Copies of this chain bind each other. A is one copy, B any other.
Amino acid sequence: MSITVVGSVALDTVETPAGRNEEGLGGAATYFSLSAAHYAQVHLVGVVGEDFPQAHVDLLQAHGIHLEGLERVPGRTFRWAGRYHEDVNERDTLDTQLNVFENFHPRLPEPAREAPYLFLGNIHPSLQLEVLNQANPVFTALDTMNLWIDTTREELSQVLARTDAIIINDAEVKQLTGRANLIRGAQEVAALGPRVVVVKKGEHGCLLFAGGTVFSAPAFPLENVVDPTGAGDAFAGGFMGFIAQKNRLDTATLRQAVIHGSVVASFVCEDFGPAALAALTAEGIAGRFEEFKALVDF
């Protein structure tokens, strides 16, 4: 089954202890799409400027990603620049230029409206509502961030009430619920709407709350993290991609989907930008899935 993703497409300049990547292909919708495309048909809805390199369009198309919803408008593409610390779990944002993203209003072409799976990337909740009003999904998942939790709580609540799953990090759970205990916090997030709650904990893996059970998924033990940019978005792509491929929403499928998200996220960290995702094969995914099995076996 197909997936529609709405979110940012960007040019990222990233410095990490491993080196520097200048104006590389980035953005949440990019990482999501290149991950999910390993599992299912993906419709990308976003916006770029006149300066967006054709080579990036070609790369996305080469991976079978449907780009009818990727608008190209006058102006410059969204740019983000960041520097990771020696401990790559920490980073500083050096520059953010919204550019054409500032006045973005998502418009879903017909096939994107019909996709049964929908991922609302981390954009203003009022834009997420605009997307929901155009689409007709059977399963909607949501990303958000501290800024929207702080400043647009009312709109965010409306979105939450209409979503099936939220993918959120541990700090955001605490911020959204005021609960120091992550387990209670996740239960309170579920009470806001999404019956599936995925809590990302970076290098500590993630927790899935679904079907009345808790699932603890490890992070892959990487000795050498080159660039963690986009790992969270790739996680969401692997998660939603696997669910769309199976077209099932039972707890066992959701648990395996979390591992597939973790698999593609681990690959992303091993190279700059989405390079590792673009080079990834079905054999690579299957092999690392088995490594995750061995990692938790007792």
Chain A contacts to B: CB under 8 angstroms = 85-88, 174, 180-184, 187, 201, 203-205, 207, 213-219, 221-225, 252, 255-256, 258-259, 293-298
Query: Contact partner of A298 among B180, B204, B215, CB < 8 A?
Result: B215
Asked if B256 and A183 sit within 8 Å, CB to CB, the answer is: no
Known A204-B201, A255-B297; contact A183-B216, beta-carbon cutoff 8 A: no
Query: Contact partner of A181 among B180, B207, B223, B295, CB < 8 A?
Result: B223
Complex: A72 Cα to B13 Cα, angstroms: 65
Asked if B221 and A218 sit within 8 Å, CB to CB, the answer is: no
> Which residues of B sit under 8 angstroms from A294, Cβ to Cβ?
213
25 contacts between A and B (CB under 8 A): A85-B180, A88-B181, A181-B223, A182-B203, A183-B221, A183-B222, A183-B223, A184-B223, A201-B204, A204-B205, A205-B216, A213-B294, A214-B221, A215-B296, A215-B298, A216-B221, A216-B295, A216-B296, A217-B296, A217-B298, A252-B298, A255-B297, A255-B298, A256-B298, A258-B298
Besides the contacts A215-B298, A216-B218, what 14 more A-B pairs have beta carbons closer than 8 Å? A85-B180, A87-B180, A183-B222, A201-B204, A205-B216, A213-B294, A214-B221, A215-B297, A216-B221, A216-B295, A217-B298, A218-B296, A252-B298, A256-B298
